[in-house]
Amino acid sequence: MISEDFEIKDPWAMAERVKQVLKKETQAETERALGLLVLLKGILQEKNFSDPRFLDFKKDLTSLFNLPSTKKHLHRFTIQLDIYLGRGRMDGYEQTCDYRSTLQILNDHFVPWEEIDLPHLVEDMESIDDDIREVAEDAPPIREHEIPNWVPDSHWWWRAPKKQDMSEAERWYRRHYEELEP
């Protein structure tokens, strides 16, 4: 995202920005739009969800997420999530959670995954959740104060690591092990 994205406080202006960004049809702009949706969710109020403008926005968003290029970019986003997940026992768990929460916000508030014509998206997300549970057995924990304030409690993956008593030294080593290896 760019700095001016963070300055938008009006939900309808943010919604328009999301659509403009998605219409650029690049990987970077699709990822930016996903980040903007996280920001938009934060500035929307309960009354906005029943506003006809929001319902129209969701329809437009569904169309934009079904463009061939956007579907390809969304698929790449899930692949990147999976790459981070593969590194989850060391330095990739926090990024895994960030990507997973972004996709959950897309599903819960804007475009349900079932409405995106991307084969196996729902199954892929279920598989990712299973893999997160497995990786969480050994992943360094994310301390409560490190979890972004936009993350709802329902996003269990942030608090899933089993080794909550891991020392700060071990957490640091796991996050920086590549820098330390010769």
pLDDT digits (tens), the chain, 182 positions: 678 888 889 999 999 999 999 999 999 999 999 999 999 999 998 888 889 999 999 999 999 999 999 999 999 999 999 999 999 888 889 999 999 999 999 999 999 999 999 999 999 999 999 999 999 998 999 989 999 999 999 999 999 998 878 788 887 777 776 676 66
pLDDT in tens, 40-84: 999 998 888 889 999 999 999 999 999 999 999 999 999 999 999
* Other beta carbons within 10 Å of 27: 15
Q: Which residues of 125-150 are buried (b: 16+ CB within 10 A; e: fewer)?
A: beebeebbeebbeebbbbeeeebeee
